[in-house]
A and B are shown apart, each in its own frame.
Chain A
Amino acid sequence: MRRNLLVLGERYIEGDYGCIMAAGELHVDNSDIRSLYLAGETSIHRSAVHKLFGAGEVNANTLSFGNVKVVGEVNLQGFCKGDTLTITGDLSAEFLECRILGSSLPGLKGKKGRFVWGNGHFTWQGKLKAVTFENLYALDLSGCDYEFNNIISSGFLSYNGEIACNNFYSFGGLFCEGINAENITVIINDYISLQSVAGSNIRISKAFQADRLFKSIPKSFKYKNFTSDCGIVYIPSIEGDAINIEYTRSDVVSGVDVVIGDLCIIDRVEYSGSVVISGKAVVNEVVRL
């Protein structure tokens, strides 16, 4: 029979617990906790927490977790592995592996799945591995050695290199050298700055409509369909197999099957299969490879 615990002030615990509600400074060691609600500073060592909702600073070493949502700073030492980790704040991890890693809480998400700008940005550091990474706030991933299968960014994502993954979805701002992914969906935004996009299926559009692939991706938030009212995004180079873009200005668009949609301004379109150019697009040169 697991015990429930209410902690006020500083407390050291060890063992199996059901529900712990703590306000103050909590130290957990060699424990298995079903649910933990925190406010304050917490350090967890060699423990398993199935559910953790907290506000404050969380320091963990060799943690196994289920669903964790923290508003505050999270420092993870050793090998930490779990299912879902959502952090509204800075993260430092020696090695973190989880199924879903998120950078915000749903409460900070705007209407229609759109990003609400706030002040500042989060900085994450360390080695991160996740099936799906979700970003709903301004986040700088430059200090991370990451390995994400899917990236869904509704906030502002910054990285000092080329972002690589399998499936990439961007609904907000983006600042990086380029994107290299199997499937790339970018919804136009005024805060997009990247030099190149390379992938198999590339879609740059004004409106987001969840497709089958997106629905199949594990994620913790609900994303509604929406239409961006931003201007035209400039991406110098777009290379892929199937390219479908609109509201995009580019120097070179190169692909097998290329669809140039409305309000595109393209200097050169290279294609080897088929090309469709909207009547509302400006293309200076079309070359069949």
Chain B
Amino acid sequence: MKNEKVEGIGSVYGGEYDTISFEGIGKLKGDVTAKKVMVDGIFKGKGKITADEMGIDGIARIFRDIKAKSVKIEGILKLRRASLNADRVICEGIMVANRAVCADEIYVDGICSVSRMYGDNVILKNNHDRIKASGNFLPIRLKPFIKLYFGRNVSLDYSLVDVLECTNLEAEGIKAKVIRANNVKLKNRCIVDKLFCDGEIFIDDTCHVGKIISKDQVITVKKEMGDMANMTLVKILDLYKDGKINADEAEKMINSIKLDSGEGYTSSRGTSLPWEDDGKLRIVAYIGRRLLKKGDPEARSIEVKYDSEALNVECYGNLTCGNVKGHVSAGGNVTCGDIGGSVSTGGNIYCKNIGGSIAAGGGVHIM
């Protein structure tokens, strides 16, 4: 069989070939059957391609179906109104298809935007850093024209698939409308509207799955998270699911993990405090983990001493402080220097000067 090689600008007509190679600007004008089709430049395919091996290192715009045993894409493959059928598809560049991509093995470690993807084992990784490093990334200034050019949305951050059907799926950074798979493993910001799965589902906590539907209505949702504690949690739930441990035992084991990871105990950092982060000095008291509030009987027996000038002071118990520029409000006795504003207290007042009004439950002693 003959070989065909285009190193400048040229066209290839249909027929049977051993090897077809495009290294410049090439065009396929008829259906071809070849053992090997290599695209290193810019290629436009207007004919159906049947090949054992197909490699795309440049830019290939294909308008007819491709049937191949192995397709390797390291550049850009654009399929318009055409499908790709292969035993194995490896894409480390960009693959855009507005029809179907069918293969037993699909491995995408780049960018893909496919309308329908059917496969047996599908691994989708969204590694646009690799694409950028290879020099084949999409310039941001051309982003508005990307859809015009490809006929589909293309995202550097997600692998876009409308419908994905496969046996085993392992995906990172995928955005899909519908996924039908037997076993699913989703990691790294996957967004799926509907997930049909009858087998095991591993979903990273960074993923969002709208709806999980199972034929048998027995869904095992597992969260595979980075840390060991969550892996342990999954295993504990497995033991419980398998009936090896009962609910009490599972609870004990889960509590044991939670206590260590800090859950169950409210740290001061995690406590939701009833005030804003406004920079004010607050001296608060807890009994156990309960914050004493105004009106609590325990708060009245607490005395706060503050050796400095203050703007406004609000104290639920007794107060001893220096000069206060603003107002003072206390639940108990107030002992301080000069008060620029008004004073409101439930007990006695001992101070030097008060600039504003006085409301006291006890005596007022101006010294």
- The answer on A and B forming one complex is yes
A contacts, CB < 8 Å to B: 231-232, 234, 247, 249, 262-263, 265, 267, 279-280, 282, 284
Interface contact A234-B232, CB-CB below 8 Å: no
- Docked-complex contact B252 and A280, CB < 8 angstroms: no
Q: How far is the CA of A284 from the CA of B236 in the complex (A)?
A: 11
> Which of B72-80, B95-103, B254-262 is the interface stretch?
B254-262
Other A-B pairs beyond A232-B252, A234-B260, 10, CB < 8 Å: A231-B256, A249-B256, A249-B257, A265-B257, A267-B228, A267-B232, A282-B236, A282-B239, A284-B228, A284-B235
> Chain A residues near B235 (CB, 8 Å)?
282, 284
B232 with A280: CB separation less than 8 A:
no
A-B pairs with beta carbons under 8 Å apart, 24 shown? A231-B255, A231-B256, A232-B255, A234-B259, A247-B252, A249-B256, A249-B257, A249-B260, A263-B249, A263-B252, A265-B232, A265-B236, A265-B256, A267-B228, A279-B239, A279-B244, A280-B239, A280-B245, A280-B249, A282-B232, A282-B236, A282-B253, A284-B228, A284-B235
Tell me whether A263 and B253 are in contact (CB under 8 A).
Answer: yes
B202-259 interface with A by 8 A CB criterion: 228, 231-232, 235-236, 239, 244-245, 249, 252-253, 255-257, 259
Measured between C-beta atoms, what is the minimum distance from A190 to chain B in Å? 10
Give the shortest distance, in Å, between A261 (CB) and chain B (any CB).
Answer: 12
Question: Chain A nearest CB: distance from B243 CB in Å?
Answer: 10
Distance in angstroms between the alpha carbons of A247 and B249 in the assembled complex: 10
Report the minimum CB–CB distance from A114 to chain B (whole Å).
Answer: 19
Which single residue of chain A is at the shortest CB-CB distance from B249? Answer: A263
- Of A234, A262, A279, A280, the most chain B CB neighbours within 10 A belong to A280
Number of B residues with CB within 8 Å of any CB on chain A: 16
Partner of B256, one of A232, A262, A267, A284: A232
The minimal Cβ–Cβ distance linking B239 to chain A, given in whole angstroms, is 6
A251 to B259 CA separation, bound complex (whole angstroms): 14
Min C-beta distance of B142 to chain A, whole Å: 48
Q: Roughly how many angstroms separate A249 CA and B259 CA in the complex, as a whole number?
A: 11
* With A282-B235, A284-B231: A265-B253 Cβ-Cβ less than 8 Å: yes
Q: B232 contacts which chain A residues (CB < 8 A)? A: 265, 267, 282, 284
Given contacts A265-B257, A282-B236, A284-B231, contact A231 B252 (CB under 8 A): yes
Q: Which residues of A lie under 8 Å from residue B228 when comparing CB positions?
A: 267, 284
What is the CA–CA distance of A263 and B249 in the complex, to the nearest angstrom? Answer: 7
Please measure, in the bound complex, the distance between the C-alpha atom of A202 and the C-alpha atom of B250, giving whole angstroms: 25
A139–B232 CA distance with the chains assembled, in angstroms: 36
Minimum distance in angstroms from A175 CB to a CB of chain B:
16
CB distance from B222 to the nearest CB of A (A): 14
Chain B residues within 8 Å of A263, by CB: 245, 249, 252-253
B320-343 CB contact bits vs A (8 Å, 1 = yes)? 000000000000000000000000
Distance in Å: Cβ of A232 to nearest Cβ of chain B = 4
Please name all residues of chain B whose beta carbon is closer than 8 Å to the beta carbon of A280 when the two chains form the complex: 239, 244-245, 249
**Distance A279 CA – B256 CA, assembled complex (angstroms):** 18
Report Cα–Cα, A249/B236, bound state, in Å.
12
CB neighbours of B256 from chain A (8 A) = 231-232, 234, 249, 265
| Chain B residues whose CB sits within 8 angstroms of the CB of A231 once the complex forms | 252, 255-256
Interface centre among A231, A232, A247, A249 (most CB of B within 10 A): A232
A130, chain B: closest CB distance, angstroms: 35
Contacts of B249 on A, CB cut-off 8 Å? Answer: 262-263, 280
In the docked arrangement, what's the CA distance between A232 and B248, Å?
12
Which chain B residues border A267 with CB–CB below 8 Å? 228, 232
For A232, what are the chain B residues with a Cβ–Cβ distance below 8 Å?
252-253, 255-256
Chain A residues contacting B236 (CB-CB under 8 Å) are 265, 282
Q: Give every chain A residue within 8 A of B252 (Cβ-Cβ).
A: 231-232, 247, 263
Nearest to A234 among chain B residues (CB) is B260
> In chain B between 258 and 315, which residues have their CB closer than 8 angstroms to a CB of chain A?
259-260
Report B-chain residues with C-beta under 8 Å of the C-beta of A284. 228, 231-232, 235
Instruction: Find the residue from B235, B236, B256, B260 having the highest chain A CB count within 10 A.
Output: B256
What's the least CB distance linking A205 to chain B, in Å? 15
Q: Which chain A positions have C-beta within 8 A of B244?
A: 279-280
Interface hub of A231, A265, A267, A279 (most chain B Cβ within 10 A): A265
What residues on B are CB-neighbors of A247 within 8 Å? 252
Q: In whole Å, how far is A183's beta carbon from the nearest beta carbon of chain B?
A: 26
4 closest pairs, A vs B, by CB?
A: A232-B256, A282-B235, A249-B256, A231-B252
CB neighbours (8 Å) of B245 from chain A are 262-263, 280
Alpha-carbon distance A231/B257, docked complex (angstroms): 11
Chain A residues positioned under 8 Å from B257 (CB to CB):
249, 265
Contacts of A279 in B (CB 8 A): 239, 244
